[in-house]
Structure 1
Amino acid sequence: MAKMTDKQIAKWEKTRNIGQEIVQGIRELKAGRTGRRFTVDSYGILRAREKSGLTQAEFAKLLGVSVRTLQDWEQGRREPNAAAQTLI
């Protein structure tokens, strides 16, 4: 999958209905269907931090990881575990 530009992401975000996505996810869980799985790449981690307006130190503290770990994630040297991806 190709990376989306900031403009494409902004357009996509405007069309999302988060409430409906949550309700649909609950229905799928109740029906026994597995949900969609998302992974967060280094660009997504950096973008999430920048959108939050937090420094690396603040974002790392919020996630409960070291600044070095966050830097590794943002630079693509390591991938966050599933729990961290959920938080991001």
Structure 2
Amino acid sequence: MVLTEKELFERDAKRDIGEELLASIREVKAGRYGSVHKVQLTEAAEARGKTGLSQPKFAELLGVSVRTLQEWEQGRRTPSGAARSLLHIAALRPDVFRDVLMA
């Protein structure tokens, strides 16, 4: 059933949103709320996350556009060649990646 704007306002005026939020948080902490969804990170997203770099800085170090990096991170495109090797190094040794490429 679709409510009119007036009906929505009247319904929401009776609600205690703060208490509803606290109750939801308590349910989540108690493990009683919904199912858990796990998101599989792409190699690019995982590698960048380990380095702690922003998308623009990470893309610059890889020699690609931010848009290309975003496509890799979202799984719409797959890196190849040197970029794949650099991502692998960044994932395994983020300290070396930062030290070598940011020097």
Taking structure 1 as the reference length, the TM-score comes to: 0.51
Give how far 1:43 is off: 1.6
Segments of 5+ residues of structure 1 without an aligned counterpart are: 6-41
State how many pairs are aligned: 49
Structure 2, gaps ≥5 residues long: 1-37, 88-103
Indicate the RMSD between aligned Cα atoms, in angstroms. Answer: 2.0
- SS in structure 2 of the partner of residue 77 of structure 1: coil
Which structure's CA Rg is the greater one? 2
Residue 75 of structure 2 corresponds to: 76
Equivalent residue number for residue 52 of structure 1: 51
Deviation at 1:82, TM superposition (A): 1.8
Identity across matched positions, percent:
58
Alignment of 1:36-47 (within 5 A): 43-47=42-46
Give the CA deviation at 1:44. Answer: 1.5
Runs (4+) off by over 6 Å:
none
Q: TM-score, normalised by structure 2?
A: 0.44
